[in-house]
Amino acid sequence: MMIEDYLLTIDKTDPYKRYGKVSQVVGIMIESQGPEANIGEVCLIHSATKKRKPILAEVVGFNNENIILMPYSEVTEIGPGCLVESTGKPLTIKVGRGLIGQVVDSLGKPLDGSTLPSGLSTYMTEQTPPNPLERPPIYEVNQVGVKVIDTLLTMGKGQRVGLFAGSGVGKSTLLGMIARNSNADINVIALIGERGREVREFIEKDLGPEGLKKSIVVVATSDQPALMRIKGAYTATAISEYFRDLGLQVNLLMDSVTRVAMAQREVGLAVGEPPTTKGYTPSVFSILPKLLERTGTNSKGAISAFYTVLVDGDDMNEPIADAVRGILDGHFVMDRKLAERGQYPAINVLKSISRVMNQIANAKHNEIAKEIRAIMAVYEENSELINIGAYKKGSNQEIDRAINYYPKIIHFLQQDIHEFITLEEAIDTLYRLIINGGTS
């Protein structure tokens, strides 16, 4: 019986290698006559110079019977007639516990040029999101280690939130704080479209040696081809899924999903998609839910995801911000005005929301959070009158109370980069602040 199985396998084996050949290169796209390949498959383009390694490229479309490829690296020494070989499979990476503490590129290779450790498993970068009926509800609180989030925007294990911010308001610093202070088993950090200078700065300054010990960093800098930036997001998500399936609690921190969308726009325009809202192609709005829905809970573990969203001119209603906000389980708005007056983390509590806080925080915690929000809202509504001295003390009891509490609440919400406080300590401090009449 065993011999028959071997013979059957031999009969099915194709002993020939089939190649296509490059017919034209237009911009970032390569058109090839053959070989047979499907959308998403990886091909090898053999350059005219035999000493060079083959260039990896992915099938992204078709033109009549020709295949359209997009390379993972810069196109050099490629000319008409260069051979194109199909691998017959999509992009896979090597992943395992030996990868913890490493900084890798979008293909899962160490960025410092070293070799991967042995004992890693092969894993596909593109996976389907978990079945909705196989997602356990979120009931367990996730300690982030940032006071403003833990107390007023409490997160659950497996929740996905967006950090909406303009440039220069401290989002990278906040991600570093979360990576260091969170009680997750492992962090997977994706730096997509970052400036090359900022990568090492983030790893050494914001993340630090302690954070790197339990992290895997995936880097795709802004100078890399669009496909590499997109694959960086997919690779980081795939690594997170691998560790989630081992039963671990995973934090995925992606900076930023906006640059992933911009890279997809480049690909879409190159293959001939029509530009729609603000120049974004339809494929951008179709890949976002597929990518973001892969995180969260499943029957084995949970991925708590933090996606930063860059907003042009601090416009929170621009197309990508609007689309992402509708997919995720909460949004934290980082306010430039708060950053300008030195309040860090610069999260605007009144404009932010955690959609699962009511079901995971206890009644006492929810009551305190609502009271704090109410005090902050009253002060913000009357801040102009208060600041110009037009409000007369004693005119309104609620405003008097807000004036008394507000400075102390703001002082509590401020947190130094290297300050750490547990979830229980933060809630207890906030509770005492309210009970003791504005003194903590």
pLDDT tens figures, 74-125? 877 788 888 999 888 899 999 999 999 999 999 999 998 889 988 899 999 9
Assign 323 to helix, strand or coil: helix
- Taking the C-alpha atoms of residue 383 and residue 403, their distance in angstroms, rounded to an integer, is 9
Q: Return the beta strands (E) in 337-423 as ranges.
A: 353-354
The Cα 94–Cα 107 span in angstroms is 9
Rounded to 5 degrees, φ, ψ at 51 are: -70, -25
316-341 mean pLDDT: 91
- Res 180 pLDDT > 70: yes
The yes-or-no verdict on residue 260 having pLDDT over 70 is yes
In which band, very low, low, confident or very high, does the pLDDT at 438 lie, cut at 50, 70 and 90? very low
374 — phi, psi (to 5°)? Answer: -65, -45
Q: Distance of alpha carbon 359 from its chain centroid, rounded? A: 25
Task: Report pLDDT digits (tens) over 189-240.
Answer: 999 998 888 899 999 988 988 889 999 999 999 999 999 999 999 999 999 9
Looking at this protein, which amino acid is placed at residue 172?
S
- Rounded CA-CA distance 177/167 in Å is 18
pLDDT grade for 276, boundaries at 50, 70 and 90: confident
The pLDDT tens digits for 281-310 are 999 999 999 999 999 999 999 999 999 999
pLDDT (tens digit per residue) in 356-401: 999 999 999 999 999 999 999 999 999 888 888 888 888 889 999 9
Per DSSP, the three-state class of 102 is coil
pLDDT(440) > 60: no
* DSSP H or E stretch at residue 306: strand 302-310
Q: Look over the chain and give the mean of its residue pLDDT values, rounded to a whole number.
A: 90
The confidence score (pLDDT) of residue 270 equals 85
Instruction: Give yes or no for a contact between 98 and 132, defined as CB atoms under 8 angstroms apart.
Output: no
Name 436's Cβ contacts closer than 8 Å, sequence gap at least 6. Answer: none
User: 313 pLDDT exceeds 70?
Assistant: no
pLDDT for 190 equals 97
More confident residue, 47 or 243: 243
CA angle 29-30-35, nearest 5°?
140
Candidates 374, 381, 371, 434; CA nearest to 408 is 434
**Residue 439's pLDDT is what?**
46
Cβ atoms within 10 Å of 385's Cβ, excluding its own:
13
| pLDDT confidence band for 1 (50 / 70 / 90) | low
- How open is the CA angle 81-86-88, to the nearest 5 degrees? 170
Smallest Cα–Cα separation from 262: which of 274, 277, 280? 280
* 314 — pLDDT class (breaks 50, 70, 90): low
